[in-house]
Chains A and B, each alone.
Chain A
Amino acid sequence: MPWVFALLLFAATPAAWAQQAAPRLISDSPEYCAELASRFAAIGAEAPSHLRTLADEGQRLCAEGQTRGGIAKLRRALKEAQRGE
């Protein structure tokens, strides 16, 4: 049986290696979430309240570990705020 595992490992390795070798997108990290929050803070004072609520919700989701959802809300808040300007 050990040789079967070895074979499976050998077969799986190139695909796994290729996946690992691909460059990684870093715009879904908690750090990026914090960067977006600070961007909104810079313009947020004049933003309507519903956009501030949206941005707060985004920060909360990031804090809870739902980074992509949080980033999406922050981005929407930023875009709407820019449009308002």
Chain B
Amino acid sequence: MAAPAEETGGWRDLSAYFRSAGFRFAALFAVLFLAAMAGFALMLWWGTAGTLSRQIDDAIRADALGLQEQWRSGSTKAVLDAIGERLAVDIDDHAIYLLTDSAGQPLGGNLDRWPAAADMPGAWAADKVRRDGVAVPARLYHVPLDQGHRLLVGRDATDREKLRTLLSEALLWSFAVAVAFALAGAAALRRALADRLRAASLTAGAIAAGDLSRRVPLSTQRDEFDQLGESMNAMLDRIDHLMVGIKGVSDSIAHDLRTPIARARMRLENALLTAPDEESLRAAMETTVADLDGITRVFQALLRIAEAEAGARRAAFAPFDLAAVLTDAAEVYGALAEERGQHLETHWPEKLTMVGDRDMVLQAIANLLDNAVKFTPEGGTIRLTGSAPARGRREISVRDEGPGLAAEDRARAGERFFRADPSRALPGSGLGLSLVKAVAALHGGELRLGDGQPGAARPGLEARLMLSSRA
């Protein structure tokens, strides 16, 4: 019972072999090679046997025309004399002539009777004629004359047939050799392809098995396979980076949420054990609820970032006026800045239309303004601007007069839960710029951070949110 199963496996292998890209490339190579050979054979045939055939036909046609002229200008005797003279000097002994009368009786020439194959007037015919009792091929042309006379002009085509036979045999052998070369070349090509792809295939297999550290080995040839390998390696590096990022986020979530949850638990426990009265207990519970609200906000921010990064909200993209969004944000944060003794300066055109997610863009601007208000000292100025720097581009800039960010901190500013040292004392979750960065990416743009006043003692921070207005 094992035999059929093996056969099935064998057929499956054979089928997979025929469906493989290597086999198909090799087959294409073989077909192209054989097509080139066929083209070469055709040209060779056309240039030799074809040329000889055309030369024979041209000679017959010229001969026939000459005799036709003789017929028109002279008499039967003139044609017969011309035929006789031509036959008399036909050293190669290839010429064939026959002139018959209206009854079909031969009047002159070197053929004993009219061949049946050349009955059609004005047509060419290929027939056999006997020479010394042996049938030889002949090319014949039937020239109809007036008064029922007929003229046959032809040539012995033995040499042409011999050349054709020789050429056919040579081409047949060449074709057999070409087929052998094509098959051998195809097999070599298939093997070379399989060898070059093996490294990538083994790497992909190892990665599928869980070894993410493997990379495609590159050769020194810098060919298409190396380019594929480089792309695969870049993709794997990116996946690796994302995996590290995800792990970092998981660790950060665990770390950053453990503290407030533990604090809330401790506060409740202390209140239960030590609260002197109902009012103290209520106050402790209210504080705990506020802490838990903070945790909920962190989760909401994380979900919004994930949503933006996944592009899930792209379906909700619609045209909106960015100027109106900036006005809304300025109203809320202008009041907040005033409360803190700060001044909010604004500037944008009357209309700044774009396509995108209005709520997400508003959230991003709010996060930037929130940071600016948080870090700008009392009496400082916050500048909010909006513009269209180029066709299809929108830019929102928020500049504060805070302590600014060191270059190394700017590079990490978009990471989840990252907080620069000066800001650790202030409230916040370290998710604000992560969301801004995700919103920028969602709208085909980016977030750029720089000094608000380069060279100043307190350089401040300028956050530039670049967006595509067409999304």
A residues near B (Cβ < 8 Å) are: 18-19, 22-28, 32, 35-36, 39, 68, 71-72, 75-76, 78-79, 82
Chain A: minimal CB distance from B259 (Å): 108
Closest to B98 in A: A23
Tally A-B pairs: CB < 8 A: 64
* B135 close to A (CB within 8 Å): yes
Residues of B within 8 A of A35 (CB): 84
Having A23-B115, A23-B127, A39-B88, one finds 17 other A-B pairs with CB under 8 Å, namely A18-B128, A19-B128, A22-B128, A22-B129, A23-B129, A23-B130, A24-B111, A24-B130, A25-B112, A25-B130, A25-B131, A26-B110, A27-B93, A35-B84, A71-B93, A75-B90, A76-B91
Q: Interface residues of A: mostly helix, strand, loop or mixed? A: helix
Residues of A within 8 A of B305 (CB): none
Residues of B within 8 A of A22 (CB): 115, 127-130, 135
Residues of A within 8 A of B113 (CB): 23-24
Residues of B within 8 A of A71 (CB): 93
Residues of A within 8 A of B93 (CB): 27-28, 68, 71-72, 75
Q: Are A23 and B88 in contact (CB under 8 A)?
A: no
Closest to A32 in B: B110
Q: Are B111 and A23 in contact (CB under 8 A)?
A: yes
Chain A: minimal CB distance from B141 (Å): 15
Chain A: minimal CB distance from B187 (Å): 46
Chain B: minimal CB distance from A8 (Å): 20
Residues of B within 8 A of A25 (CB): 96, 110-112, 129-131
Q: Are B128 and A79 in contact (CB under 8 A)?
A: no
With A28-B131, A68-B93, A68-B132: A23-B112 Cβ-Cβ less than 8 Å: yes
Q: Are A78 and B110 in contact (CB under 8 A)?
A: no
The residues in B between 125 and 157 inclusive whose CB is less than 8 angstroms from any CB of A are 127-132, 135
Chain A: minimal CB distance from B21 (Å): 54
Name the residue among B87, B89, B96, B131 with the largest chain A CB count within 10 angstroms: B89
Closest to A21 in B: B116
Name the residue among A23, A25, A68, A71 with the largest chain B CB count within 10 angstroms: A23
Q: Are B128 and A75 in contact (CB under 8 A)?
A: no
CA distance A32 to B114 in the complex (A): 19
Chain A: minimal CB distance from B150 (Å): 13
Chain B: minimal CB distance from A77 (Å): 10
CA distance A77 to B87 in the complex (A): 13
Q: Are A23 and B135 in contact (CB under 8 A)?
A: no
